[in-house]
Structure 1
Amino acid sequence: MNNQFNAEEARKNKTSAINSFEKILGEILFTTEVASKKGSSSANLQYPTSTVTPSIILSLEEELISRGFTVESKSTPDGKAITITVSF
């Protein structure tokens, strides 16, 4: 960071903070694998709604279901985050 930070740089930062399908899928699979090794039957992950798009959530759900998982995605009551629950 420097003292030359401006609105354009802030917009670039926000854009780069948006999570990709591949990144989130990797996080979900990793977290789910860890949960399964600990004897749990589900894993929960939460993402700010500003960093994930509805189309990515839909694609993630489709991919995870095709792998045999049960998936539930829902917004938090305040609408600021989405929780993804993966069960197996």
Structure 2
Amino acid sequence: MNLSASMNDAGDGFELLMSGNMQDFNICCRRDNHYPEHKLIPLSELFDVNYGLNLELNKLEKDSSGINFVSRTSKNNGVSARVKLKDGISPCQQLC
């Protein structure tokens, strides 16, 4: 899957540019169409990128007091629902 995004929330001419895929994602910044360093930085140098547990929302029980279910939605920082914690699965099983 190829991804690309551009973000400029402040309206100050500063823009964050991102492109790539999960294995090779690049990020750079520019101000007023000027790239200060002309350098793309792999996302893996900024964050630890890990795949989730591949749980499907339609197979989980929704619970308003449960844990956040993070999906690919662009709304609400990716949180698309709150779900009941399943027995035997830790929310950070692969990371902890």
TM-score range, shorter chain: under 0.3
Select the structure that is richer in strand: 2
Calculate the TM-score normalised by the size of structure 1: 0.22
Larger Rg: 2
Calculate the TM-score normalised by the size of structure 2: 0.21
Q: Which has the higher contact order (CA 8 A, sep 6+)?
A: 1
